[in-house]
Amino acid sequence: MSTVINLEDTWCAHNYHPLAVVLVRGDGALVWDEHGRRHIDMMGAYSAVSHGHCHPRLVAALTKQAGKLAVISRAFHTAPLGAFAELACRLTGMDAALPMNTGAEAVETALKAARKWAYTIKQVAADRARIIACQGNFHGRTIAIVGMSSVPQYRDGFGPFPPGFDLVPYGDAAALAAAITPDTAAFLVEPIQGEGGIVVPPPGYLAQCRRICDEKRVLLLCDEIQTGLGRTGRMLACEHEGVRPDGLTLGKALGGGLLPVSMFLARREVMDVFQPGDHGSTFGGNPLAAAVGHEALRVLVEEGLIERSAELGDWLMRRLRGIDNPLIKEVRGRGLFIGIEFHPDKVDARTVCEGLARRGILTKDTHRNTVRFAPPLVISRALLTEAVEGLRLTLDELAAAATVTA
Ligand SMILES: *Cc1c(COP(=O)(O)O)cnc(C)c1O
């Protein structure tokens, strides 16, 4: 075994099960392992590396700000934060932003905002506010967040969980309408479920949810940590249905593939529930993170990465749907955010990922026996072609092996 893998195995917690490859360098959509072998990154760090690895403009923004002022806390004002928040709000149609670091923290911020809005604006009785989420959701790993998960492994052994959460089936607007009570503060939803297996809801779902939330005076909170910032071919995935949420979480690609940067954005009425001292984060909105986040948003727009995701995504979807292989059950997604689901009785998604890795194509399986393709948005059509060919060959091999065993 590689000494690097051995060291990690000995000294790190075993809360992940990585593929047996040791990566040392990245550039755009490519990464290199310890043996100097080139791989195509078809996972983009779960969408955190939409700008590609070590984007020169982002590395420049990082090093420039790092040499000037990096961390000072929110006890003082710094120049990068306001400018970063302004651009994030302008690009998403929101009124105000609250910077955090990880996605889970942004979601926690959204939950706190929704509860306080329920008590102070909607006049829900003290400690009665409820938040509705969806079955199959993924919003992070804190105790409150896994408390609203429907995935047993995320919850088992970690209870008790905070009360006040309800689950409804994803993609079922009638179920949402039926679950709302006068105490409901918010509905939290991913426009496409990412970790849940790249699950695309029926057309019109989000627009219907918007209408229901408006009618019943419930906040619509979209978790766009994975689907936002161009991943699905629009700045926000909820734009596909012309929906503007009341609150929004961003993360992952917001850090330009360099730093953890997240944000809760909202309409003014919602954000204004926070008073000084109500909520915060030592590192949230630090000048280094804000400078990198600001440049990440600019690069996204100025380099046309959103249009690129839409165009290359359509093309990739057609190519993947053109693969004729009995192991494939369904190909679904939007933009450069595509899941390839396999028949669970025929092959394991992890086996497919191991086969792809041997051909220098890196990605990871997700729920529902699905392999995810979410490469950096800067990827070239030539590399995508190579990835599709690699998948075709891998599946041919696996299908032939399956026939021989059967
Ligand atoms: C990844 C993810 C999160 C959590 O982000 P972390 O940075 O890992 O805490 C939350 N919501 C969605 C939709 C995600 O994909």
Whether 194 lines ligand 1, by a CB cut-off of 6 Å, is yes
> Which range has the worst mean pLDDT, 72-81, 141-150, 197-206, 396-405?
396-405
Q: Which tens digit of pLDDT belongs to each residue from 85-114?
A: 999 999 999 999 999 999 999 999 999 999
> Which range has the worst mean pLDDT, 53-57, 247-251, 314-318, 364-368?
364-368
The residue contributing the CA closest to ligand 1 atom 15 is 226
Cα 391 to ligand 1 centre (Å): 27
The residue contributing the CA closest to ligand 1 atom 11 is 139
Mean pLDDT of 133-139: 98
> 């041997």: which residue's tokens?
358
Q: Could you tell me if 191 and 237 are in contact, meaning their C-beta atoms sit under 8 angstroms apart?
A: yes
In whole angstroms, give the CA distance from residue 351 to residue 364.
10
Mean pLDDT of 66-71: 98
Q: What is the mean pLDDT of the chain?
A: 97
Which residue out of 41, 223, 246, 365 is catalytically annotated? 223
Q: Which tens digit of pLDDT belongs to each residue from 284-321?
A: 999 999 999 999 999 999 999 999 999 999 999 999 99
In whole angstroms, give the CA distance from residue 365 to residue 339.
9
Whether 137 lines ligand 1, by a CB cut-off of 6 Å, is no
Domains of the chain: 3-54+307-405 (3.90.1150.10), 56-302 (3.40.640.10)
Question: For the chain, how many residues are written?
Answer: 406
Q: Which atom of ligand 1 is nearest to the CA of 227?
A: 13
406 pLDDT more than 70: no
223 is catalytic: yes
405 pLDDT more than 70: no
Whether 190 lines ligand 1, by a CB cut-off of 6 Å, is yes
Instruction: Report the share of the chain in percent with pLDDT over 90.
Output: 97
For residue 310, the model assigns a pLDDT of: 98
Whether 365 lines ligand 1, by a CB cut-off of 6 Å, is no
Cα 103 to ligand 1 centre (Å): 4
The sign of the torsion formed by the CA atoms of 61, 64, 65, 67 equals positive
Cα 104 to ligand 1 centre (Å): 6
216 pLDDT more than 70: yes
Cα 325 to ligand 1 centre (Å): 32
For residue 169, the model assigns a pLDDT of: 98
The residue contributing the CA closest to ligand 1 atom 6 is 103
Q: Which tens digit of pLDDT belongs to each residue from 235-291?
A: 999 999 999 999 999 999 999 999 999 999 999 999 999 999 999 999 999 999 999
Cα 345 to ligand 1 centre (Å): 30
138 is catalytic: yes
Query: Which residues face 96 on adjacent strands?
Result: 266
Pocket test for ligand 1, best of 100, 137, 138, 262 (most atoms within 8 A of CB): 138
Query: Which residues face 97 on adjacent strands?
Result: 265
Is 154 strand, coil or helix?
A: helix
Which residue out of 252, 274, 342, 365 is catalytically annotated? 252
Pocket test for ligand 1, best of 252, 254, 264, 281 (most atoms within 8 A of CB): 252
For residue 232, the model assigns a pLDDT of: 98
In whole angstroms, give the CA distance from residue 277 to residue 294.
25
252 is catalytic: yes
Cα 191 to ligand 1 centre (Å): 13
59 pLDDT more than 70: yes
Q: Model-level pTM?
A: 0.97
Q: What one-character-per-residue DSSP string does 222-252 give? A: EE-TTTTTTTTSSSSGGGGGT---SEEEE-G
In whole angstroms, give the CA distance from residue 88 to residue 97.
8
Mean pLDDT of 373-385: 98
Mean pLDDT of 366-390: 96
For residue 2, the model assigns a pLDDT of: 86
368 pLDDT more than 80: no
Cα 304 to ligand 1 centre (Å): 24
164 pLDDT more than 80: yes
Instruction: Report the share of the chain in percent with pLDDT over 70.
Output: 99
Pocket test for ligand 1, best of 101, 105, 107 (most atoms within 8 A of CB): 107
Q: Which atom of ligand 1 is nearest to the CA of 251?
A: 7
404 pLDDT more than 80: no
Q: Which atom of ligand 1 is nearest to the CA of 260?
A: 7
Check whether the bond before 160 is cis (ω within 30° of 0): yes
Whether 226 lines ligand 1, by a CB cut-off of 6 Å, is yes
Cα 195 to ligand 1 centre (Å): 9
Q: Which tens digit of pLDDT belongs to each residue from 7-41?
A: 999 999 999 999 999 999 999 999 999 999 999 99
Which residue out of 41, 116, 138, 337 is catalytically annotated? 138
Whether 267 lines ligand 1, by a CB cut-off of 6 Å, is no
Mean pLDDT of 367-383: 95
